[in-house]
């Protein structure tokens, strides 16, 4: 230890002590000052983050939140320029200028202009660097930086230091903020750490807003086609109606479009093909429409189109023609030609509510569909009345099922040579409490449009089965058959086959006593799937008759492959026999064709002796019609069997077989 000269006087000792105290005080003050400064800075930082967080929570838009952040960071740092970019949500990965904070707008006008016009992608300039790395970047002096495209400008307007930081959702950069100072500055790590917090806060805003936007978009768009959905379409319609009220000559049209035979595509080619078709049609419909028009998917294979401000009604027919041409030139789906039925409603009818005009376009579409494929119909008021009637009918039908207002009548199928009864066609009748007996033609088509045909069919099958059991007990040695008309909709039921088999088992009759009649056109509409179903039915011994033969679109090659047991010549041919030579030729051909394929031929609608004679001459062995008997209740049918005897329906010998 070095020896020191000791102070000589007390006063010097005291002075030294005081000096030590003073130094200690100054040092303590300096430490406290540093602490105060750090505390102050921390408080400022906390306040900055609090302000940005509050703004982030309250911001109505991403831009609002960005603006607050940029403003607050500028006031916190005292730097004169702040700027936010948002990453474009497309594939370009471009940063798009969003909001600015400029202490002096005139001085920094060119910086703003040039920044807005520069394309910043990954790696380019300060924002591109931040985008590439996903972390903050600091430039001490931009005029000396070799990746700063705006360096020349910075030199001119006196911009020196800069920093940028990313706005992150997870690890993904969604926006970049940059700030500029007047003077060169060394990197400030604590500042960048605070900025990282701000980046996270802003990321939450963007994430939340994007999620909100997505939810809103999903609420108003169809997920398959991304087209507006019914809700959005009705909103646009409401706007159009409001315009129509304000402007005298303003006219718009609503098209309701439904694909013809879409179900066929779905059933025969699978749902993914069907979905593809729905999407493709959405795109086609959008082509050739104007910016103000709206195409929406309402669900299933239904679309609606709002043709806005059409000037005159004739514009609509041109637009419909264009849509039809576009559809036709594009859509031939694996040999299935897809067309659309279009219903049109015009605003000139005078509507109050958007639902009304859409409903009327829908009604017109149904009318178009009922008239054939690929047609369009403009709505008129009569259609509405009819639609209302149909609606009542539908609810009546539902009641009828509950109250058991249906009954089966039986029309005999007769051997033309012996007059014996071969079986009966079960025909449904509706005993309406007010309207009396309603003919099937007045309600079956309505039931077929809705799902009501399914319970009605089920009822008819059940009724026929019960009848077959009774007759089996009554006429033990004569297997009397009953045929039931089926709509192919029935076959889309999941367990239709097991249901039929269960009915047969429950009632204990021979499966071949129950005949199913399906119209030729319905079979042909879904030839592929029907072919399989017919095989299954045949395997169970259930016989199928082709109803209304000759009226549909016949494919003889298909017919030869189908497992059917009889064809029923449509009544329109039979009733015209003798009046028209060509008609006679058709009947002659059908009979010959049936026999050649080993099928029974049953002539429907025989009313005269003359018709019977013709059919007998052509070798037709069975028939039905008023000539023999009208459809009759059960008791009367039993009398007919007793009076005329039984004559089994045996297929003719196969004359020539076709390759199967």
Partner 1 sequence: MKGIVFNLLEEAIRQEHGEDVWDALLDHTELEGAYTSLGNYPDEHLMKLVGAASDMLRKPAGEIIRWFGCKSLSLFAERYPHFFNDHQSTRPFLLALNSIIHPEVRKFYPGADVPDFQFDTSSEEILIMQYYSKRKLCAFAEGLIQGTATYYREQLTIEHSKCMHRGDPHCELRISLQRLS
Binding site for partner 1 (CB under 8 A): 25, 29, 32-34, 36-37, 40-41, 78
Nearer to partner 1, 19 or 442 (CB): 19
Q: How many helical (H) and strand (E) elements, i.e. helices and strands, does the chain have?
A: 22, 21
Nearer to partner 1, 29 or 442 (CB): 29
Nearer to partner 1, 12 or 29 (CB): 29
CB burial string 576-594: b at 16+ within 10 A, e below: bbeeeeebbebbbebbebb
- For residue 192, the minimal CB distance to partner 1 (Å) is 19
Both structure tokens of 649: 């329906």
- For residue 180, the minimal CB distance to partner 1 (Å) is 16
Nearer to partner 1, 41 or 339 (CB): 41
The whole-angstrom distance between residue 32's C-alpha and the CA centroid of its chain comes to: 70
Nearer to partner 1, 30 or 654 (CB): 30
121/96 Cα distance (integer angstroms): 9
- For residue 196, the minimal CB distance to partner 1 (Å) is 23
- For residue 139, the minimal CB distance to partner 1 (Å) is 19
Q: How many CB atoms lie within 10 A of CB 2?
A: 3
Bridge partners of residue 409, in order along the sequence: 427
- For residue 36, the minimal CB distance to partner 1 (Å) is 5
- For residue 18, the minimal CB distance to partner 1 (Å) is 9
User: Counting Cβ atoms within 10 Å, is residue 421 exposed (0-12), middle (13-18) or buried (19+)?
Assistant: buried
- For residue 30, the minimal CB distance to partner 1 (Å) is 8
Nearer to partner 1, 37 or 318 (CB): 37
Contacts of 400 (CB under 8 A, 6+ apart): 406, 430, 432
The secondary structure of residue 146, as a DSSP letter, is: S
545/486 Cα distance (integer angstroms): 10
Nearer to partner 1, 43 or 332 (CB): 43
Tell me phi and psi for residue 534, to 5 degrees.
-65, -35
Tell me phi and psi for residue 404, to 5 degrees.
55, 55
Strands 600-603 and 622-623: parallel
Nearer to partner 1, 189 or 536 (CB): 189
Nearer to partner 1, 107 or 373 (CB): 107
Nearer to partner 1, 4 or 11 (CB): 11
Smallest Cα–Cα separation from 294: which of 266, 344, 323, 254? 254
Nearer to partner 1, 39 or 505 (CB): 39
Nearer to partner 1, 25 or 353 (CB): 25
> To the nearest 10°, the Cα dihedral for 151, 157, 158, 164?
-50
User: Three-state SS for 328?
Assistant: helix
> To the nearest 10°, the Cα dihedral for 275, 281, 287, 290?
-100
SS3 of 215-239: HHHHHHECCCCCCECHHHHHHHHHH
660/653 Cα distance (integer angstroms): 18
239/1 Cα distance (integer angstroms): 97
Nearer to partner 1, 49 or 99 (CB): 49
- For residue 164, the minimal CB distance to partner 1 (Å) is 23
- For residue 140, the minimal CB distance to partner 1 (Å) is 15
Contact 342, 374 (CB under 8 A): no
SS3 of 164-207: EEEEEECCEEEEEEEEECCCCCCCCHHHHHHHHHHHHHHHHHHH
- For residue 143, the minimal CB distance to partner 1 (Å) is 19
Give, to the nearest 10 degrees, the angle between helix 271-286 and helix 314-330: 140
């Amino acid at each position: 230890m070095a020896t020191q000269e000791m102070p000589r006087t007390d006063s010097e000792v005291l002075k030294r002590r005081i000096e030590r105290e003073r130094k200690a005080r100054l040092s303590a003050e300096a430490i406290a000052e540093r602490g105060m400064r750090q505390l102050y800075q921390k408080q400022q930082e906390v306040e900055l983050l609090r302000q940005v967080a509050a703004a982030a929570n309250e911001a109505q838009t991403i831009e609002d939140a960005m603006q607050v952040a940029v403003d607050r960071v500028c006031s916190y740092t005292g730097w004169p320029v702040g700027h936010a970019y948002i990453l474009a949500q497309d594939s370009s990965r471009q940063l798009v200028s969003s909001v600015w904070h400029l202490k002096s707008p005139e001085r920094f006008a060119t910086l703003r202009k040039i920044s807005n016009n520069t394309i910043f992608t990954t790696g380019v300039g300060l924002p591109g660097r931040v985008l590439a790395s996903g972390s903050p970047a600091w430039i001490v002096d931009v005029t000396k930086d070799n990746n700063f495209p705006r360096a020349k400008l910075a030199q001119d307007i006196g911009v020196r230091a800069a920093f940028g930081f990313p706005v992150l959702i997870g690890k993904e950069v969604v926006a970049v903020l940059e700030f500029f100072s007047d003077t060169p500055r060394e990197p400030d790590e604590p500042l960048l750490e605070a900025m990282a917090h701000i980046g996270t806060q802003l990321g939450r805003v963007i994430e939340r807003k994007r999620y909100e936007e997505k939810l809103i978009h999903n609420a108003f768009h169809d997920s398959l086609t991304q087209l507006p959905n019914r809700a959005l379409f009705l909103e646009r319609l409401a706007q159009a109606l409001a315009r129509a009220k304000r402007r005298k000559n303003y006219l718009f049209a609503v098209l309701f479009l439904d694909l013809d035979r879409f179900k066929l595509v779905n059933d025969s080619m699978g749902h993914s093909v069907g979905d593809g078709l729905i999407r493709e049609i959405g795109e086609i419909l959008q082509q050739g429409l104007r910016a103000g028009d709206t195409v929406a998917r309402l669900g299933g294979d239904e679309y609606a189109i709002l043709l806005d401000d059409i000037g005159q009604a004739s514009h609509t027919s041109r637009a419909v023609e264009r849509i039809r041409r576009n559809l036709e030139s594009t859509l031939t789906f694996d040999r299935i030609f897809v067309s659309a039925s279009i219903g049109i409603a015009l605003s000139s009818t005078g509507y109050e509510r958007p639902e009304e005009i859409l409903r009327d376009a829908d009604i017109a579409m149904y009318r178009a569909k009922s008239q054939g494929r690929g047609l369009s119909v403009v709505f008129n008021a009569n259609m509405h009345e009819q639609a209302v009637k149909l609606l009542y009918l539908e609810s009546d039908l539902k009641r009828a099922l509950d109250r058991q207002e249906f009954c089966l009548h039986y029309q005999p199928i007769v051997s033309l040579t012996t007059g014996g009864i071969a079986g009966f066609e079960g025909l449904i009748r509706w005993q309406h409490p007010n309207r009396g007996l309603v003919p099937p033609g007045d309600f079956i088509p309505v039931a077929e449009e809705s799902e009501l045909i399914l319970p009605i069919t089920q009822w008819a099958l059940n009724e026929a089965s019960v009848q077959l059991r009774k007759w089996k007990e009554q006429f033990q040695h004569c297997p009397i058959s009953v045929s039931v008309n089926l709509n192919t909709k029935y076959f889309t039921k999941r367990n239709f086959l097991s249901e039929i088999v269960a009915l047969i088992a429950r009632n204990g009759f021979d499966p071949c006593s129950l005949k199913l009649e399906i119209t030729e056109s319905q079979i042909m509409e879904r030839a592929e799937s029907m072919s399989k179903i017919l095989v299954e039915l045949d395997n169970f011994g259930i016989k199928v008759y082709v109803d209304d033969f000759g009226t549909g679109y016949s494919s003889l090659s298909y017919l030869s492959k189908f497992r059917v047991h009889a064809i029923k010549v449509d009544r329109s041919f039979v009733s015209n026999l003798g009046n028209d030579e060509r008609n006679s030729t058709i009947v002659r051909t059908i009979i010959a064709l049936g026999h050649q394929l080993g099928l029974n031929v049953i002539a429907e609608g025989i009313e005269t002796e003359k018709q019977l004679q013709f059919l007998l001459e052509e070798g037709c062995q069975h028939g039905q019609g008023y000539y023999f008997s009208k459809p009759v209740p059960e008791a009367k049918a039993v009398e007919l069997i007793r009076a005329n005897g039984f004559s089994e329906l045996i297929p003719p010998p196969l004359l020539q077989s076709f390759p199967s």
